[in-house]
């Protein structure tokens, strides 16, 4: 068990050397969860239909793009595998990149607004009790309740960005508890004072008697196309495939009235050395 524990690190994978024994380009797509189907339908709208022979297989292809392998992975693993050099491109939410790449500068977002998976990562507290008159981050920061012995207990699946945000905002007495889901239940169970979680419609917060506070949005997220800079610079075909995907995404999103926010591109000359 000790050996296993040392093999698993909370830190992002260090930028790995590019594996030379692979000539095919790899794109990671979400294998399940709310992003999975939306990703496939966006690609389909861009005439980039993914062909998966068997729904239990994790690999597929896009006939219009030769030399590209699609790998279905959990979003967190897409980011980890981009960092380790085992994927070259991926489609994932910006929230997941922020949390799991942890500033790894090998990752580059080449399209930051694919127009689905919109949500925000937000700090929320109970509507009532000691939080009755707490409406801003400053109110929360100035609450006398938080001390070294009794810190504000925050439950989240976003320990890295959550802690970074609160530290930057001047919170000193905070402890974090990791949770995977149904985080909105923790305050009512007496296990946490606040939560840092994704919010979209706000219904889940409301139904659990929680509220967001002014200044408490940590980040805004939607689906993005992300690449390994090393792959873009050095693996044959990655730049061309990125270009092709971006052109098709741009054509589709522009036709549906969306503005391209960040065509990182292009690309050809602007990728900085890794
Ligand atoms: N309520 C929401 N509305 C819109 N997009 C969301 C919402 N919640 C999450 N997302 C986006 O969808 C992504 C995947 O969320 P989802 O809950 O499906 O995760 P998952 O891959 O099934 O993992 P897990 O089940 O472990 O949470 C998130 O990283 C985020 O970018
Ligand atoms: O603002 P809303 O539209 O209500 O959406 C917010 C909820 O959506 C996500 O949970 P999800 O449905 O993925 O379930 P989970 O709690 O198991 O992660 C998120 O973690 C919130 O709980």
ipTM comes to 0.95
What is the per-residue pLDDT for 17?
59
* 69-90 average pLDDT score: 97
Q: What is the pLDDT of residue 133?
A: 97
Band (pLDDT 50/70/90 cuts) for residue 18 is: low
pLDDT over 70 (residue 177): yes
Whether the pLDDT of residue 3 is over 90: the answer is no
pLDDT, position 256: 78
Report the atom number in ligand 2 closest to the C-alpha of 199. Answer: 1
d(CA 274, CA 88): 14
| pLDDT at site 103 | 83
**Residue 272 — very low, low, confident or very high, per pLDDT cuts 50/70/90?**
low
Q: Kind of pairing, strands 107-111 and 119-126? A: unpaired
Identify the structural domains of the chain with CATH numbers, from first to last: 25-117+223-255 (3.40.190.10), 119-221 (3.40.190.10)
Mean pLDDT of 217-242: 96
Contact criterion met (CB below 8 Å) for 130 and 247: no
In this predicted structure, the answer to whether residue 12 has a pLDDT above a threshold of 70 is no
How many whole angstroms from 22 Cα to the centroid of ligand 1? 31
Is the peptide bond preceding residue 56 cis, with omega within 30 degrees of 0?
no
- Residue 54 has what pLDDT? 87
Ligand with an atom nearest the CA of residue 197: 2
- Which of 36, 72, 75 to probe ligand 1 with, by most ligand atoms within 8 A of CB? 75
**Rounded distance between C-alpha atoms, residue 61 and residue 24, angstroms:** 11
pTM of the model: 0.90
CA distances to 11, 147, 186, 219, 237 from 59, in Å: 27, 51, 37, 32, 19
**Which atom of ligand 2 is nearest the CA belonging to 198?**
19
Give the mean pLDDT of 184-209: 98
DSSP letter string over 119-149? Answer: EEEEEEEESSGGGTT--BHHHHHT-TT--SS
CA of 65 to the centre of ligand 2 (A): 34
- Chain segment 46-59, per-residue pLDDT in tens: 999 999 988 889 99
Report the atom number in ligand 1 closest to the C-alpha of 223: 31
Q: Which atom of ligand 1 is nearest to the CA of 157?
A: 27
Query: In the prediction, which pLDDT does 53 show?
Result: 87
Out of 129-138, 169-178, 244-253, pick the least confident.
Answer: 244-253
Average pLDDT over residues 101-124: 94
Binding site membership of 185 for ligand 2 (Cβ less than 6 Å)? no
Quickly state the pLDDT bin for 128 (edges 50, 70, 90).
very high
| Residue position matching structure tokens 């980011």 | 79
Q: Token match 């990655």: residue? A: 238
With a cut of 50, say whether residue 242 has pLDDT above it: yes
| Protein residue with its CA nearest to atom 20 in ligand 1 | 33
Looking at every residue in the chain, the average pLDDT score rounds to 90
SS3 category, 243: helix
- Which residue's C-alpha comes closest to atom 18 of ligand 1? 33
Collect all residues with Cβ–Cβ distance below 8 Å to 51 and sequence separation of at least 6. Answer: 60, 61, 62, 63
Q: What is the pLDDT of residue 7?
A: 44
Task: Please give the distance, rounded to the nearest whole angstrom, from the Cα atom of residue 267 to the centre of ligand 1.
Answer: 29
- pLDDT of 227 higher than 70: yes
């Amino acid at each position: 068990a000790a050996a296993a524990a040392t093999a698993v690190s909370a830190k992002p994978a260090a930028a790995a050397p590019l594996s030379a024994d692979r000539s095919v380009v790899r794109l990671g797509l979400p294998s399940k969860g709310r992003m999975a189907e939306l990703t496939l339908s966006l690609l389909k709208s861009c005439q980039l239909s993914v062909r998966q022979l068997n729904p239990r297989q994790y690999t597929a292809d896009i006939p219009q793009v030769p030399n590209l392998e699609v790998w279905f992975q959990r979003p967190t693993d897409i980011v980890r595998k981009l960092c380790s050099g085992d994927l070259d491109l991926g489609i994932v939410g910006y929230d997941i990149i922020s949390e799991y790449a942890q500033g790894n500068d090998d990752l580059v977002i080449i399209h930051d607004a694919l127009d689905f998976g919109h949500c925000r990562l937000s700090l929320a507290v109970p509507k009532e009790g000691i939080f009755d008159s707490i409406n801003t981050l400053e109110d929360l920061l100035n609450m006398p309740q938080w001390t070294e012995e009794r810190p504000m207990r925050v439950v989240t699946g976003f320990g890295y960005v959550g802690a970074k945000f609160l530290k930057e905002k001047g919170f000193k007495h905070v402890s974090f508890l990791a949770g995977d889901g149904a985080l909105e239940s923790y305050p009512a169970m007496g296990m946490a004072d606040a939560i840092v979680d994704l919010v979209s419609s706000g219904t889940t917060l409301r139904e659990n008697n929680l509220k967001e506070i002014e200044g408490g949005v940590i980040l805004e997220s939607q689906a993005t196309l992300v690449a390994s800079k090393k792959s873009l610079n050095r693996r044959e075909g990655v730049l061309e495939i990125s270009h092709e995907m971006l052109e098709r995404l741009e054509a589709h999103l522009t036709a549906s009235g969306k503005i391209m926010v960040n065509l990182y591109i292009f690309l050809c000359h602007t990728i900085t050395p890794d």
